[in-house]
Amino acid sequence: MSHLTDPTTAHPQPPFPGTKQPVPGDFYKMDPTPDHGEKTYEGHGRLAGRRALITGGDSGIGRAVAIAFAREGADVAIGYLPEEQENAEDTAKLVEEAGRTVALLPGDISKEEVCQQLVADTVSKLGGIDLLVMVAGIMPTVDSIDDLDTGVLDHVMKTNVYSLFWLTKAASPHLEPGSGIITTGSIQSFQPSPSLAEYATSKAGITNWTRAMAGQLAPRGIRVNGVAPGPFWTPLQPSSVPPEKLESFGEDTPFGRPGQPAELASTYVYLASNESSYTSGETIVVNGGTTGH
- Share the mean pLDDT of the chain: 95
Q: Compute the distance between CA of residue 92 and CA of residue 101 in angstroms, rounded to an integer.
A: 9
The CATH class for the domain spanning 44-286 reads: alpha beta
Q: Compute the distance between CA of residue 246 and CA of residue 180 in angstroms, rounded to an integer.
A: 34
Q: Compute the distance between CA of residue 135 and CA of residue 155 in angstroms, rounded to an integer.
A: 16
- pLDDT tier, 2 (very low <50, low <70, confident <90, very high otherwise): low
Residue 293 in this model has a pLDDT that exceeds 70: no
Query: Over the range 150-165, which residues count as b (16 or more CB within 10 Å of their CB) and which as e?
Result: eeebebbbbbbbbbbe
Give the residues across from 104 on adjacent strands. 78
- Percent helix, strand, coil in the chain, to 5, is 45, 15, 45
**Domain residue spans in the chain?**
44-286
The pLDDT of residue 77:
98
**Residues 6 or more apart whose Cβ sits within 8 Å of residue 227:** 182, 183, 184, 185, 264, 267, 268, 271, 283, 284, 286
pLDDT (average), residues 147-165: 97
**Residues 6 or more apart whose Cβ sits within 8 Å of residue 11:** 35, 233, 257, 258, 259, 260, 263
The pLDDT of residue 1:
60
**Residues 6 or more apart whose Cβ sits within 8 Å of residue 249:** 14, 16, 231, 233, 237, 241, 258
Catalytic residue among 80, 199, 268, 278: 199
Give the residues across from 52 on adjacent strands. 76, 131
**What is the per-residue pLDDT across 11-25, written as a single tens digit (0 to 9) for each?**
999 999 988 999 888
Per the annotation, the verdict on 28 as an active-site residue is: no
Hey, is 2 helix, strand or coil?
coil
- pLDDT tier, 28 (very low <50, low <70, confident <90, very high otherwise): confident
| Adjacency order of strands within the sheet including 131-134 | 102-106, 75-80, 51-55, 131-134, 180-184, 223-229, 283-286
**What is the per-residue pLDDT across 38-83, written as a single tens digit (0 to 9) for each?**
999 999 999 999 999 999 999 999 999 999 999 999 999 999 999 9
**What is the per-residue pLDDT across 181-202, written as a single tens digit (0 to 9) for each?**
999 999 999 899 999 999 999 9
Who has greater pLDDT, 265 or 239? Answer: 265
Q: Compute the distance between CA of residue 108 and CA of residue 61 in angstroms, rounded to an integer.
A: 18
Give the pTM: 0.96
Residue 114 in this model has a pLDDT that exceeds 80: yes
